[in-house]
Structure 1
Amino acid sequence: MDACTLGDLLDVVGGTSVRLHTAPAGLTAPVTEVLLHDAGAPLPPVPGALLLAVGVRAAAAGPLVRAAAEAGMTGLVVRGADGPTAEAQTYGVALLSVPGDLAWHQAHLLLASAIGARPASSTGGHGDLFALADAIAAATGGATAVEDPRQRILAYSTVPGQPVDEDRRQGILGLRVPVSLDNSEQYRELFAAEGPVRLPALRDGVLPRLAVAVRAGGETLGSVWVVDDGTLAADAADTLAQGASTAALLLLRARAARELARHRDSDLLRRVLDGTADAATSAVGLGIEGPVRVAAFVLEAAGLPDAEQTGMRLLDVVRLQCEARYGRHACVLADGVVYAVLPAPGARHRRLAEDIVARAGQALRVPVRAGLGEVVAGLAEVTASRADADLVLRVLGPSLPVATIDEVRPRVTLLRLTEVLGERRELSAGAWRRVLAYDAGHGTDHARTLMSWFDAGCDMAGAAKLLAVHPNTCRYRLKQVRQHIGIDLDDPDERLVLWLQLRTLAGLGRGTAAG
């Protein structure tokens, strides 16, 4: 693969994730790796490196620019926008920045992945693993398979003429190792060993195996298995151990590529939801076509001590459930809300949201609620569906944790009307203020009487029942409203506006007393 340049890097992660402030040496400057600044150690001479200004405020990073230049580095990355641009231009060092809320370890992963990850191949990003499996099979003399820790087969050899058994055939057909108690015991033995182990045949017709765990930094990434028909090369164990080291590097690189792709999808989806990305291009990038609906998920508990971490866990739950149903899926955490774009038809969307709310609430031990916007024709209209979903979240509560926009349309409409009426002087003025003022000055209860009468469909007996008073009491109060406050209750427009203002601006609803 050709060396990565600054321009290549920005093509991958530029935009809202990484911002370029200046590049005195141009965009063709090579970028070799990413280093974390350690204030307690001298800066190593690493030509082409990007230095992350860990522990240094962006405005105070001028001396670090000079040190990076003396070390031959290509650029300095600060957190926040107020960086030493002038110093960077003076010393010929590129200055980049990442958002202030992006953790340094996340910035390191993002940039390192962009520098070192290759595009995913047609084999799901594991093309190099297939080549490795073939190489191990040729060197050891036995059919080889590479698995992940969950016993899913990631790659397998295709060297002709090597003996295989039924377990091998079934595993490749289903891309998963057949489950059995004997298998589980062999995996325990394998992952407890420090190197390759020879495992006996589990039953008649099945061949023994030579296997090794694949590890990196103490983490188990998977395993490599070789079918042993008794004719393996004498140095098969050594070959397998070396192959495991290579497999670890390939698995780490594949993971980095997946994380990078996920980050790019998240960044693109965030811009789609904000309406700042081209819908047609984004649809291709995200693999989303046709009608869609936005589902929004949020934690109910406010002021959680670890709200950011819990929000990320909620994102994981939502993504896992959506991917289980729809495959590759677009989910993102933005402003404390997890958004998922669900493909139409939408008949099962509510059930999915209910499942996610139940699972997330149980896993996170925090109540979760979910709002679903309207189904729209495509990504070009997705901002409207997101706005719907956000409004639904605002009217949900413990008694109704999940709803679609159509299910709560009256509540949402009143919520928006409350905001609009409150913002406009001419819409917030009117008889409702005179009613409340009269009640406050005379100790009467005319506002609540009016609301009860409206709620009862202007039926006197129904209003009296709601108020738990005699119908004549209601008649008297409404007569007082006409005479002393000057409201024409026979005018339907007057009644409509008065009800709307008392309901929204005064906050009076069913069973609500005047404040």
Structure 2
Amino acid sequence: MDACTLGDLVEVVGSPSLRLRTAPAGAAVPVTEVLLYDAHVPLPYAPGALLLAVGVPTAEAEPLVRAAAQAGMAGVVVRGEGGPVGAAEAGGVALLTVDDEAAWHHVHLMLASAIDGRSTHGVGLGDLFALADAIAAATGGATAVEDPRGRILAYSTVPGQPVDEDRRQGILGLQVPGSLDNAEQVRLVFAADRPVRLPPLTAGVLPRLATAVRAGGEALGSVWVVDDGTLAPDAEQTLAQGASTAALLLLRTRAAQELARHQNTDLLRRLLDGSADASTAAHRLGLDAVRVAAFVLDSAASVPDAERTSLRLLDVVRLQCEARYGRHACVLLDGVVYALLPASGEADAGRAAQERAGGGRHRRLAEDIVRRAGRSLRVPVRAALGAVVADLGGVADSRADADLVLRLVHDALPVATVDEVRPRVTLLRLSEVMRERREFKEGAWRRVLAADAEHGSDYARTLVAWFDAGCDVASAAKALSVHPNTCRYRLKQAGRQLGIDLEDPDERLVLWLQLRTLAGIGGAGSGPGDTPG
């Protein structure tokens, strides 16, 4: 699935609605989303975004263009002629213009629909706008297409047709204003097998002619026409025909979206196991720097149908990720749900900066998913975040991080990033390497364990406590709840009987690592999940 480019967008929308003034980076620049400028909110770092200069006069747009360039955006759209072409070229961002009278919410929806339509192989909600215009022209009334939940998918823009406040507010929020009366009208529309005429709900609101959009027995949405009393005589027949066309378009869109989701899922599987081509994947997904998030049901919990519950967890993760990032790749592998979290601009930052920016943002998302999923599934959920990688070629490494972190999370720490538990992750990796190599498994640690098993001594725990205490006998004795002399005696006996030179820092280090990683003896302050192996 090819990402929408600047050239695609201009071609789909077409002149004179959208005019490209300059594109210093070329027409092949990917465009992933459309953002509305808000003077009260700092610009986000958003590569691929197209920024609409809401409330900024064209003559004063130069600072905004420079800021958009610093935020890595693809371009800026201003209203009217001209614009700061020089600033755009200097910053390497595209500059586009729309007509002076263009409503920003309409421009936003038009561009967003074009991006979505291009991203599903030309089958998108942009076709619904053409249908809404056709129905409006034929019936004589302003038309809107809604989904079953009252979200406005498309609306007509035929000039001169009467509208009311309900339509204006619905289009502004892309959601039909909710009320009990409106809900009752919606029920009547979906209960009928033909278009129905509906009276005004309140003073100042116009009547409606509406019909359900169905495919077989499934309701896909509805089409609503504002009725000011001058609709065409055959308006009902026209609306019924339009609903049939809308059903085809919605089914095609759904099929394209499902295909895209399937392709993304398959691509993510191959990225996670390191078999996908990174450059091809980046082009298809529109992503560069990312981190892998992993979610899993608590293994200690009793889950009657773990497979089905894991699929429900996948749904929760996908829903929350798509709500924040739009089209998104999530996959369930071996009981673990993996998701790619965009992290553009953070891969080259220092660790502290990552944690303040993407690390904190991604962690909050993971915490929210864990909380929601745990509540809806009635099973504790754990989450782990791998390291940020600069491109999709590093996804397998970030996944490896996340898998290790999953082994360390517990009741008191249900969500963690790899940087938060880096020392324990390092010990886990060391334990895996040491278990695979014969030479790493030899040494004094075996004699320590054998002596404890044969004589009932407590050399291993005493040595680890002493190492953890920085070789301070008093601190080690306190951690072991024994007298310092007892601790001192055990250490002396271990050195004398087992041939361990506790004065040698190299021998101390190797022995500590082997006891911690191979014997699995945790430190005195270890919590659940801290022991490697």
TM-score between both structures, scaled by the size of structure 2: 0.69
* Match in the other structure for 1:254: 253
Q: Counterparts of 1:379 and 1:121 in 2: how far apart (Å)?
A: 22
Is 1:209 paired with 2:208?
A: yes
Query: Could you list the per-position Cα deviations for residues 188-233 of structure 1 after superposition, in whole angstroms to 9, with x for gaps in the alignment?
Result: 3323333322111122332100111222233221111111121223
Is 1:383 paired with 2:396?
A: yes
Is 1:296 paired with 2:294?
A: yes
Instruction: Map 1:54-453 to 2 at 5 A.
Output: 125-289=124-288, 291-301=289-299, 304-344=303-343, 345=346, 346=358, 347-453=360-466
Query: Could you list the per-position Cα deviations for residues 463-493 of structure 1 after superposition, in whole angstroms to 9, with x for gaps in the alignment?
Result: 2222222222222222221222111111111
Larger deviation, residues 122-131 vs 182-191:
122-131
Give the unaligned 5+ runs of structure 1: 1-117
SS in 1 for 2:407: helix
SS in 2 for 1:198: strand
Q: Structure 2 residue aligned with 1:478, among 491, 496, 502?
A: 491
Q: Counterparts of 2:190 and 2:209 in 1: how far apart (Å)?
A: 13
Aligned length: 395
SS in 1 for 2:193: coil
Q: Counterparts of 2:419 and 2:159 in 1: how far apart (Å)?
A: 60
* Match in the other structure for 1:69: none
Q: Counterparts of 2:189 and 2:218 in 1: how far apart (Å)?
A: 14
* Match in the other structure for 1:462: 475
* Match in the other structure for 2:19: none
Q: Counterparts of 1:301 and 1:482 in 2: how far apart (Å)?
A: 41
Do the aligned partners of 1:301 and 1:366 also contact (CA within 8 Å) in 2?
A: no
| Larger radius of gyration between Structure 1 and Structure 2 | 1
Q: Counterparts of 1:491 and 1:473 in 2: how far apart (Å)?
A: 22
Do the aligned partners of 1:121 and 1:127 also contact (CA within 8 Å) in 2?
A: no
Do the aligned partners of 1:294 and 1:389 also contact (CA within 8 Å) in 2?
A: yes
Which amino acid counterpart does residue 259 of structure 2 have in structure 1? L
Which amino acid counterpart does residue 472 of structure 2 have in structure 1? D
Which amino acid counterpart does residue 414 of structure 1 have in structure 2? L
Runs of 4+ in 1 over 6 A off after TM superposition: 121-124
Q: Counterparts of 2:171 and 2:143 in 1: how far apart (Å)?
A: 11
Q: Counterparts of 1:207 and 1:436 in 2: how far apart (Å)?
A: 85
Query: What is the CA RMSD across the aligned residues, in angstroms?
Result: 2.4
Instruction: Give the C-alpha shift of residue 175 in structure 1.
Output: 2.6
Distance 1:216 1:306, change over 3 A: farther
Which amino acid counterpart does residue 257 of structure 1 have in structure 2? A
* Match in the other structure for 1:115: none
* Match in the other structure for 2:81: none
Instruction: Give the C-alpha shift of residue 258 in structure 1.
Output: 0.7
Instruction: Give the C-alpha shift of residue 283 in structure 1.
Output: 1.0
TM-score between both structures, scaled by the size of structure 1: 0.72
Do the aligned partners of 2:495 and 2:501 also contact (CA within 8 Å) in 1?
A: yes
Which amino acid counterpart does residue 292 of structure 2 have in structure 1? V
Which amino acid counterpart does residue 213 of structure 1 have in structure 2? A
Instruction: Give the C-alpha shift of residue 296 in structure 1.
Output: 1.2
Distance 1:482 1:171, change over 3 A: closer
Do the aligned partners of 1:120 and 1:126 also contact (CA within 8 Å) in 2?
A: no
Do the aligned partners of 1:165 and 1:205 also contact (CA within 8 Å) in 2?
A: yes
SS in 2 for 1:212: strand
Query: Could you list the per-position Cα deviations for residues 159-190 of structure 1 after superposition, in whole angstroms to 9, with x for gaps in the alignment?
Result: 44433223223333433223334322322332
Q: Counterparts of 2:476 and 2:285 in 1: how far apart (Å)?
A: 55
Q: Counterparts of 1:370 and 1:192 in 2: how far apart (Å)?
A: 44
Q: Counterparts of 1:181 and 1:357 in 2: how far apart (Å)?
A: 33
Q: Percent identity?
A: 76
Instruction: Give the C-alpha shift of residue 133 in structure 1.
Output: 2.4
Distance 1:214 1:484, change over 3 A: same
Q: Counterparts of 1:301 and 1:243 in 2: how far apart (Å)?
A: 52
Q: Counterparts of 1:190 and 1:156 in 2: how far apart (Å)?
A: 18
